[in-house]
Amino acid sequence: MSTSFAAGILAMLAISHAIPAFADRPAEPPPANVSMCRGCHGIADYRTAYPQVYSVPKLGGQQAAYIIKALQEYKQGARTHATMSSIAALLTDQQIAAIAAYYAGNGQ
């Protein structure tokens, strides 16, 4: 038997035995996708000029309940800011909760 053939067989055996081990692990929720949020809310003293000049708050350390409420209000139109409303409109409740949890845990 050639060395490369034997190595291939050993690799397949290792993979076939590793897959069930990974399947038994509980699924961890994916981390919050805050890359879009960081563009404005991760910069100290940032101001945006669209559609008007706004002072943008840093969110790290903010209470989760406040962030959830604010994003839901943007999503429902109770708060008006063109950029935030359009972003919030695309978020699911699970994504909103994940973002809020991230920032409540002092995410930057």
| Tens of pLDDT, residues 43-73 | 888 887 766 787 888 888 899 999 999 999 9
Per residue in 15-43, pLDDT tens?
555 555 445 555 555 566 888 888 888 88
* Cα gap 19→33, rounded to integer Å: 27
pLDDT, residue 16, reads: 55
pLDDT, residue 69, reads: 97
pLDDT, residue 38, reads: 85
Range of the domain at 48: 3-104
**Distance from CA of residue 11 to its chain's centroid?**
35
Any idea what the CATH number is for the domain that residue 33 is in? 1.10.760.10
Number of separate domains in the chain: 1
* Cα gap 23→35, rounded to integer Å: 29
